[in-house]
Amino acid sequence: MDSPAAQDVRVAVGLEDAWAVCDGPQMPRCSFDDREQAVVDREFAAQQRVRIAVLTELRARVDQVGRNLDRAESILRREAVDLRGDLLGGRQDLQELLLTTVDLRPLTTRDEDLARTAALQAAAFAVDVDNGKLGEPAGPLLREIGAQRRQLIALTARVDRLERRDGAVAIDTNGTDRQALWADLFNNDPYGDGGQLASWVLSSGGLPHISNTLANLANGDMRTLAEAVFNPGAALWQGGLVDPIAEFTALQKPSVRYRSPVSESQRGQLIGSVLFGFAAFMLLLVGPVVTATHTAREREAGTLPVLRMTGLSAGDLALAMSVGPNVFAMVAGALLLLPALALLGLTVGVGPLLLPLGLLVLFTGATHLTAIGLGDALGQRVNALLVGALMAVGIAGAGLFGTALVGANIASAGLLLGPLPAVLGGILGFTGLPGSADLVTAGDPELGSSFLAYAVGTQVMLATICLFSWRRRVEQAWAPLFRPAEGVALALACVGCSGLTLLDLSSRTNTQTFDGLNLVTFLASAFLLPVLGWLLVASLRRPARAHAVPSHVEARGAFLRFQGVLAVAMLVVGFAYSAVMQRNGLAGEQSEIMYATLTQVLLIAETAVATLLLASRKRDGKLGIGMMGGALLLLQIVFAVLVYRLEVDHVALTHSAGMPFLYGMNASPYWIALMILTWGAGFGLILTALLRERDQARAAAADADEQADEDADEERRGRWLH
């Protein structure tokens, strides 16, 4: 589109420059209306026609004056002419050639034309005296002829420059009789513009004809032609006759119809990229959302076991759950994808399409399998429409955020945020936009390929685990979402994401100080704790029945598994931290390990996991446990920040590392009291989550016995004795 809004969009995304066509310095303004521009074009063409017609006439007159001078010089050199007698020896031919004034207005002024004639007449009477002897009689006149010939050469060059300002414009140069035109002009307006133009037309140096274009202008638009001939400063000339610089400046229209400078090839790339993007959204967003919603609805209705009884295998049933509800999304995606591939294949070639197309196919299958597993799990707890909304927010929100991080060259870690960033990055590379090349690898030659490979591996692993989970839960609806080994595998994958993110952020931001490096480490690892906690709770072993809770034995085992994952996370983040220090030159500086702060961070992690474990072991009161644990975590986080600042000051003063529990750091009693409070509350929460609840077990056994007695009484009630 060639509208102002479309131009603004193309300029904003870098497809074109704001001044590529118009509106720039010394450029015509942009016009977006065909009718307005047609009026401008007609006016400019009319003025151009007048200028070219006048300049063509002036060129003919300058050439005619030159020919007259040549003929006069030839006569003076070849024939004997007595210049000391009558004017020009009484030769009528010489008088007509030299003393007839040629009107070269508006190229010159009337006074300049008359001065030329007067100079020739004066030269005819001039006498050369050399050492008391009379020189050649025609010498002064010949010299004046040579001087005027040089003036004519300069005038010819000026006419050339003025004609080049307008470019190649053709006019009708066929001749009209000059005497007849003079008569028409003079008779129509003898005392006005007609009379002046008639005199100008006739003062041509003996030219018999005038161009048809100039004759038509004289008869049809006499006022405009008179303004152009007798006023060198007229707006029609745009300063070309009064400003020496303007002679070298090309004339341009006041406005031009804006046409986008984007080439046809790039238009094809853009259209193909847009179609490819819509196809990706249909296959990676609409399809998984429909699959998750349908799976949740089936779980909500309790029909999955019935479907399983049809004899379909788990794999066939998963395929049916993916394809059945998604016929529209898949057909629409395919119909969008085919023309996109055709356009892009013709413009960018087949080779560059292979990687984005392969990623689209792979992520389509992986995302649908993930949607089946997560939709089935969420369908037991929330409404099916809410499941679809959560899936849409998870895929689109994270995906678009990751695409923005990659597209703006902020962080290659955006590739890890779902299937959309890598696919959309590859599609953006086809648009030809500035900075869009190699976005499929985040434009990072060092870590981009590693991030892409890691993103593919983790999403395929998540899809496989979700498929296995769904196959188990088809038969046992309340089975845990993940097995312990699957939860550990996903946790380790998250730890790897954290390490890669730390390396990426440290290479893109200023981490020349330890404070900056510590901040980047926190940003890269902040998501680990909630994700690891969710994976821990989701993989708890519990009886496969509704509202079942894990035992204290399983809680302890999960807590130990978390310690292993936490140790691996600390090891990976530590290695990444050391690598960043080596790369940024911080390894050679004097520094100390911040034991006190790390100890507080460990307490925060253990407290958070204990809160999740305790909530998972309760059928009721989960909200109260969450509020209590959240308040305790907030207190511990504030205390950890304070300990960090205290430890930084301690290291700066003593050049020695701070010890855990503020030992040897000369902390005030208030700090010690707050530390005891946070650690005591944290340990209490951990012990509560892991210890066996004996009173609750005894109460549950008593309730079971009482219920059994009541059932027995019911069976004996109303019996007859025989």
| Alpha carbon distance 519, 564 (integer Å) | 25
Cα separation, 719 vs 722, whole angstroms: 10
The pLDDT value given to residue 253? 87
Query: CB under 8 Å to 97, separation ≥6 — which residues?
Result: 68, 69, 71, 72, 75
Tell me the per-residue pLDDT of 554-571, one tens digit each, with 9 for 90 and over. 777 777 877 787 788 778
**Helix, strand or coil, per DSSP, at residue 240:** coil
Residue 438 confidence (pLDDT): 82
Distances (CA, A) of 10 to 14, 236, 424: 6, 36, 19
Q: What is the pTM of this model?
A: 0.66
> What integer pLDDT is reported at residue 136 of this predicted model?
59
Strands 175-177 and 133-134, sheet pairing: unpaired
Burial of 77 per CB tally in 10 Å (0-12, 13-18, 19+): exposed
* Cβ–Cβ under 8 Å, residues 123 and 144: yes
pLDDT, position 654:
78
pLDDT score for 719: 39
- What distance in Å separates the CA atoms of residue 431 and residue 429, rounded to the nearest whole number? 6
Pairing of strands 129-130, 133-134: antiparallel
In three-state secondary structure terms, 540 is coil
* Helical spans, DSSP H, in 14-166: 34-78, 92-98, 110-125, 139-166
Helix (H) or strand (E) holding 31: strand 29-31
Rounded Cα distance between 377 and 8, Å, is 46
Q: What is the DSSP string of 406-423?
A: HHTTS-GGGGGS-SHHHH
Nearest residue to 378 (alpha-carbon basis) of 370, 369, 386: 386
Residue 445: how many other CB atoms lie within 10 Å: 9
CB atoms within 10 A of CB 49: 20
pLDDT of residue 278: 94
Q: What is the pLDDT of residue 676?
A: 84
3-class DSSP state of 582: helix
pLDDT in tens, 400-453: 988 888 888 888 888 888 899 999 998 988 887 777 788 888 877 788 888 899
Placement of tokens 């401008």 in the chain: 40
Q: CA 529 to CA 509: how far, in whole Å?
A: 24
Find out whether 348 and 286 touch, Cβ atoms under 8 Å. Answer: no
Residue 482 DSSP SS3? coil
Indicate the SS3 state at residue 30.
strand
Low-confidence ranges of the chain (pLDDT < 70): 1, 80-87, 89-90, 126-138, 302-316, 475, 477-478, 510-516, 518, 522-530, 532-549, 552, 584-591, 692-722
